[in-house]
Every structure is written in structure tokens, then in C-alpha cells.
């Protein structure tokens, strides 16, 4: 989330040089422009003024992110009655209980597979569409708008629409699958529900990736493309050797965003799909936190799970920045 806001504020500064409409969304504008911005650096009259401007943002991060995190860590060491009358310190037993549970490990396994699938398909389909849209000359605005507008749909609504497609009684996708002899039973069969969840989650995320990839593609200078076209006739090879490396910063950013999306933001889709009754359907770790904490009123156990999630995300982010980002060239 933080990266997104950062991106938007960065785009405001760079809106002038984009040259094309979607250029405003460009994230990694390139270091060439940095010199320009530093030349125009605003001099504050007071040393404290910049901090004053930063204060609202810092306050929001502190109140809505750090403070709850600290509370979650704290209550993960306690067993607490739901109404908050008393709590007992239990040390690490909330963690050991969770990690010993075979059920929890099963959910973790599903979450990992689900995240990998959603990230892979959302990124690759988004990229494919962006490359194709980039090539369209006539009527490209209508084409792009049609691809982008899905992003404006809220996750629960996307879940609802997806659910209707996969409805046991009236779903059109279920009807089509039946012709091929596949009886899709969302809500009954683990694999079928997992399939439906993945499809809806990918579908929901494609436009987002599309927007960024498209603006990334349009940010590649025409001169580079022309030079490449002179050197190499194969469009596919040009894509792999020239376009894709130049898209790497965008792709890296999207990779992080998509993993976070699959881990957390698919909550709405899952909630609508399992209709409030998870039963034997697949769920992700964050849904399990919700079920135990908000439905089951087990605050200690639920907090321990959310701390585990926090650690996973932390490790993942460090890994990405240390090992993947090294191979990304921003210029």
C-alpha cells in the first residue's frame, strides 16, 4: 500500500515529462530526470518545516500500522477472554499451538500455492495484454479503457460476480464445464473452489498489472525500439532481449504488489466465495486469522497467527530486495 501512494506522489512530480496520458502513472521514471529535480530542490525557510509536512503521513503510519502491530505482538503472548476482563500470560504457547496444528500447516501450504499461481497468472496475462495493447494504433483508447475498468470493481463485488459465474445452480462457467464432463462444485469440492478462487482473484488483478505494464512499455523510448528493430527482425527476440529488461523495474514493483495482493487483498473474494462458511473449502492464512479472531473470539491465537504472517511478509520483502532487485536495472 505504501508503495502505491509513493508511486502516486512521485507521478505528480513527473507528470510533465510523460508525454502520453498513461505516463503519469509511471513509477520508475529513470535517473536521468533526477538531476533536474535536484536542481529545482525547494529550500525550506525553517529546518522543522519539512518534518511538519511529513507529520501527518508519519502519524497515519504510526496509528494505523505500528500501533496495531505492537498490540498484536503483545496479545499474541496472552490468552484473553473476548470481552477483555482478564488475560493470562502464556508465553509462546499460542505460537506452538498454531504451528503444531496440521490444519494450520495445510492452510499455509494452500496459501503458498495460491499466491504463486495468482501472482504468476495475473502478471503474465497482464503483460501479454499490455504488449498487445501497446501495438494497437486504431481505437486504442477504447481498447485500453475496456481492459482497465475492471480494476474499479471492489474485491467483494468481484467476488460476487465471480461467485455468480461459478454458482452451483445458475453459474454459466459451471454449465460450460459440464459440456466437457467436468462437474464444478464450488463450496463442496476443495479443488473446484480453489480453482474458482484463483480464477476470480487473477481476473480482478489483471487490469492493475495491465496499467503499469502498459505505461512501462510506453516509457521505453522510441529510439531504443527503432534501434532494436534495425538490429533484429524477430519481434519475440526483441521483446526478450530489449523490452523485458527495460520493463524489469515495473515488473519487480508489480511482483511485490501482486504477492501482497494474493496474500491479503484476496480476502474479499474468499469471503464472498465461501459465503461465511469456510467448511472444507480452501482459505488463506489471513482468512484464518479473521475466522479465529473475529468469528471465534480467540484473540491470543489469532494475534499469534497475524504475527506469523507479519514475519513471513518481512522475510519475503527482504529476500526480494536483496536477491531479485539486484538483478533489476533501473536505467
Partner 1 sequence: MIRKALLASVTFAFSATTSLAATNITWWHGMAGRNGEVINEVAQKFNESQSACVLTPVSKGTYEEALASGIAAFRSGEQPNILQVFDAGAATIINAKGAIIPAEDLITKAGYGFDRGAFIDGVRYFYADSDGKFVGMPFNSSAPIMYINDEALKKAGVEAPKTWEEFEAIAPKLKDAGYIPLIQSQLTWQFTENFFSRNNIQFATNNNGYDSVVDTKLKVTDPKLQMMFEKLKAWKDEGYFAFYGAGWADNQKVFEEGKAAFWIGSSGSFGGLQKTATMPFSATFLPYWGSIEGAGTNSFIGGAALFAMSGKSDEENKCVADFFQFLTSPEIQYFYHKSTGYVAITKAAHELAEEDGYYREKPVAVVGIKQLLLPAGEWSKGYRLGFYPQIREIMEREYGRIFAGETTVKDALETIEREGNELLARFAKTAG
* Max Cα–Cα distance, the chain, nearest Å: 75
71 binds partner 1 (CB under 8 A): no
**Residue 182 engages partner 1 in binding (rule: CB under 8 A):** no
Q: Which one of 39-47, 147-155, 253-261, 277-285 is the stretch in contact with partner 1 (CB under 8 A)? A: 277-285
Residue 157 within binding range of partner 1, rule CB under 8 A: no
Q: How far is CA 184 from CA 156, 192, 243, 267, 294, in A?
A: 21, 6, 40, 22, 30
**Helix ranges, 166-221 (H):** 172-179, 190-218
Q: Least CB distance from residue 301 to partner 1, whole Å?
A: 8
79 contacts partner 1 (rule: CB under 8 A) = yes
- What residues numbered 193-252 form the site for partner 1, per CB under 8 A? none
282 binds partner 1 (CB under 8 A): no
Closest distance of CB 85 from partner 1, Å: 6
* Interacting residue with partner 1 among 15, 128, 244, 279 (CB under 8 A): 279
CA angle, 191 then 259 then 262, to 5°: 40
Reported as half-sphere exposure (CB side, CA atoms, 13 A), residue 256 has a value of 21
Cα four-point dihedral sign 133, 135, 136, 140: positive
* Least CB distance to partner 1 at residue 198 (A): 18
In this structure, what are the phi and psi dihedrals at residue 71, rounded to the nearest 5 degrees?
-65, -40
Count of residues near partner 1 by CB under 8 A:
33
Among 255, 292, 306, 307, binds partner 1 (CB under 8 A): 292
**Interface stretch with partner 1, choices 30-38, 128-136, 296-304, 321-329 (CB under 8 A):** 296-304
**Does residue 276 bind partner 1 (CB under 8 A)?**
yes
Taking the CB of residue 38, how many other CB atoms lie within 10 A of it? 8
Q: Is 188 in the site for partner 1 (CB under 8 A)?
A: yes
Instruction: Rule CB under 8 A: say whether 90 interacts with partner 1.
Output: yes
Q: Which of 84, 91, 139, 181 binds partner 1 (CB under 8 A)?
A: 84
Closest separation in Å from C-beta 298 to partner 1: 6
State the SS3 of 39-94.
HCCCCCCCCCHHHHHHHHHHHHHHHHHHHHHHHHHHHCCEEECCCCCCEEECCCHH
62, 182, 240, 294: residue in contact with partner 1 (rule CB under 8 A): 294
**Alpha carbon distance 9, 48 (integer Å):** 21
Q: Is 96 in the site for partner 1 (CB under 8 A)?
A: no
Residue 33's Cβ-side half-sphere holds a number of Cα atoms within 13 Å equal to 15
Note whether 291 binds partner 1 by CB under 8 A: yes
User: According to the binding rule CB under 8 A, does residue 64 interact with partner 1?
Assistant: no
Which is nearer to partner 1, 171 or 219 (by Cβ)? Answer: 171
Work out which of 2, 43, 85, 141 binds partner 1, going by CB under 8 A. 85
Burial 162-189 (b: 16+ CB within 10 A, else e): bbebbbeeebebbeebeeeeeebebbee
List residues binding partner 1 (CB under 8 A): 79-85, 88, 90, 97, 103, 168-169, 187-190, 275-281, 291-292, 294-298, 300-301
Amino acid at each position: 500500500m505504501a508503495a502505491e501512494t509513493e508511486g502516486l506522489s512521485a507521478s505528480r512530480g513527473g507528470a510533465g515529462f510523460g508525454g502520453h496520458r498513461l505516463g503519469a502513472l509511471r513509477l520508475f521514471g529513470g535517473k536521468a530526470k533526477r538531476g533536474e529535480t535536484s536542481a529545482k530542490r525547494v529550500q525550506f525557510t525553517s529546518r522543522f518545516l519539512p518534518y511538519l509536512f511529513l507529520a501527518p503521513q508519519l502519524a497515519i503510519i504510526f496509528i494505523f500500522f505500528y500501533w496495531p502491530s505492537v498490540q498484536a505482538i503483545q496479545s499474541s503472548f496472552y490468552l484473553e477472554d473476548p470481552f477483555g476482563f482478564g488475560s493470562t500470560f502464556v508465553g509462546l504457547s499460542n505460537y506452538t499451538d498454531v504451528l503444531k496444528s496440521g490444519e494450520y500447516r495445510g492452510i499455509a501450504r494452500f496459501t503458498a500455492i495460491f499466491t504463486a499461481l495468482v501472482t504468476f497468472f495475473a502478471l503474465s496475462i497482464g503483460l501479454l495484454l499490455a504488449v498487445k495493447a501497446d501495438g494497437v494504433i486504431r481505437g486504442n483508447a477504447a481498447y485500453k479503457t475496456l481492459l482497465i475498468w475492471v480494476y474499479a470493481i471492489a474485491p467483494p463485488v468481484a467476488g460476487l460476480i465471480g461467485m455468480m459465474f461459478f454458482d452451483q445452480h445458475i453459474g454459466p462457467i459451471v454449465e460450460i464445464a459440464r459440456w466437457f464432463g467436468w462437474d464444478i462444485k464450488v463450496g463442496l469440492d476443495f479443488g473446484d473452489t480453489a480453482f474458482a478462487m484463483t480464477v476470480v482473484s487473477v481476473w480482478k488483478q489483471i487490469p492493475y498489472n495491465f496499467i503499469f505494464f502498459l505505461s512501462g512499455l510506453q516509457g521505453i523510448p522510441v529510439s531504443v525500439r527503432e534501434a532494436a528493430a534495425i538490429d533484429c527482425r524477430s519481434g519475440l527476440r526483441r521483446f526478450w532481449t530489449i523490452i523485458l529488461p527495460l520493463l524489469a523495474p515495473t515488473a519487480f514493483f508489480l511482483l511485490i504488489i501482486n504477492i501482497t495482493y494474493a496474500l491479503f487483498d484476496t480476502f474479499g473474494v474468499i469471503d464472498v466465495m465461501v459465503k461465511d462458511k469456510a467448511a472444507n473449502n480452501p482459505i488463506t492464512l489471513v482468512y484464518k486469522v479473521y475466522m479465529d479472531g473475529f468469528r471465534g473470539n480467540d484473540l491470543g491465537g489469532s494475534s499469534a497467527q497475524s504475527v506469523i504472517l507479519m514475519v513471513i511478509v518481512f522475510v519475503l520483502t527482504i529476500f526480494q530486495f536483496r536477491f531479485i532487485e539486484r538483478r533489476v536495472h533501473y536505467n
